[in-house]
Amino acid sequence: MTKILIIDDEPGIRKTLASILEDEHYLVHTSEDAIMGMDFLEQEPVNLIFLDVLLPRLGGLEALDRIHKKWPGIEVVIISGHANVDMAVRAVKLGAFDFLEKPLSLDKVLTVCRNALALQKLREENTDLRKNILNSDDIIGASEPIARVRELIKQAAISDARILITGENGTGKELVARAVHRLSSRAGKAFVEVNCAAIPETLIESELFGHEKGAFTDAVASRKGRFELAYQGTLFLDEIGDMSLAAQAKVLRVIQEQKLERVGGEKTIDTDVRILAATNKNLEEECARGRFRQDLFFRLNVIPINMPPLRERPGDILLLLRHFLGELGVEWPEMEDGARDMLLAHPWPGNVRELKNLAERIAVLCNGEKIKTGVLQDMLKKNPGAEKNPEKSGGDTLQNQLPLDIFKLDYTEAKEVFEKNYLEYQLAQNGGIISRTAEAIGVYPSNLHAKIRKYGLRTER
């Protein structure tokens, strides 16, 4: 049965409103102040709250803020006999469904009540749907480690607690972050990603917090930062372990105060984001070495989720390969027993990303033919992303490609020679695909495009 809570210090209002709602067969409870109302909520869940603004002990708007944070699924309708536009705007910003002026109109009360409950039902249905769907965009696998990750995602999604996602490169940390967002109450809002390793230290503050016009030389217009763009949504701080200590301090301050100022600005801006962070580093070790702030680590590590490397879940290898081939429109090929064993025994240093690259090579080179052990062995040797360190990969190394007289050049020339060879090597490792190369080396695709044009490098079209 639908339960409604009325919080108002006027007995007449409580009685009248309760009578209206009970006639509509709602189960109604009343409280004379917000403290008593929240005590009731601790014991009994409700669907809707009618909340007065002027209350003893704790004001209605402050109570609204607390209720919205602790019980985000409950719709709240603010009622007041001293209404004004500023108060109404503030109430809606704090999460109120609607704002009604006293004396209350029977028709308005019932209309608002029906609309609020309909919205709540729709949200609950959407949440149930999201929780029951784990599709190709989610975490693929049937192994015990992945089952644990999947369960953690479901548990973590229902709260607003910060999450620290750890794991090696290529394990799928971003997929975890996106799955948490999609299953959360913030799913209808923005998911904003920041690759902390790809943004220069001089620009990280502007990227995160925005800037005002004229804040620095290139600030020709005001610009929102990622915290503002993620308002009421999710902010994903990828590669947080590569963030400078100075930037860490500023992020910590925003987390603590839930407010920020843009670079070059004086106006304080409220933030409302859920923060998810990811790293391939051991942040406890980084803290011990003084490279990561321990207080920020504790703030981020409320719910830890570790993505296991592919070598620790060999039972998922064939399942993942079948999935990736299916995405490419390729039927599962016949495979020699030796080839199958080779897949299961391979260490997969590039993890799921390396396996996906292999699927693309199979799709292009095998043409539906049976995969032989020798062919697969050759593919694994040449597979982009198979080695975490380029200098350990087969064929010509980057070091061998550099001219021997590079040390005789001046700094600018030597830097350009290295950069050209480095980018040429990375493009080759990633099949000439710009988006994949940019992701692999941690730069924006637009920046990589500019470098490619500068050096006249060849790419896949």
How far apart are alpha carbons 15 and 199 in whole angstroms? 59
8 Å CB contact between 13 and 102 = yes
Binning pLDDT at 50, 70 and 90, where does residue 126 land? low
Residues, the chain? 461
Mean pLDDT value across residues 374-400: 58
Please give the pLDDT value at position 384.
Answer: 56
Task: Report all structural domains of the chain as residue ranges with CATH numbers, in order of start.
Answer: 3-129 (3.40.50.2300), 161-308 (3.40.50.300), 310-388 (1.10.8.60), 391-461 (1.10.10.60)
pLDDT top residue among 194 and 410: 194
**CA max distance for the chain:** 91
CB 293 within 8 A of CB 277: no
For 183-228, what is each residue's pLDDT tens digit? 999 998 999 999 998 888 888 888 899 988 888 877 778 889 999 9
Q: Are 171 and 312 in contact (CB under 8 A)?
A: no
Of the pLDDT bands very low, low, confident and very high (cuts 50, 70, 90), residue 129 is: low
Looking at the whole model, is its pTM more than 0.75?
no
| Least confident interval from 154-158, 349-353, 367-371 | 367-371
Nearest to 271 by CA among 160, 123, 415: 160
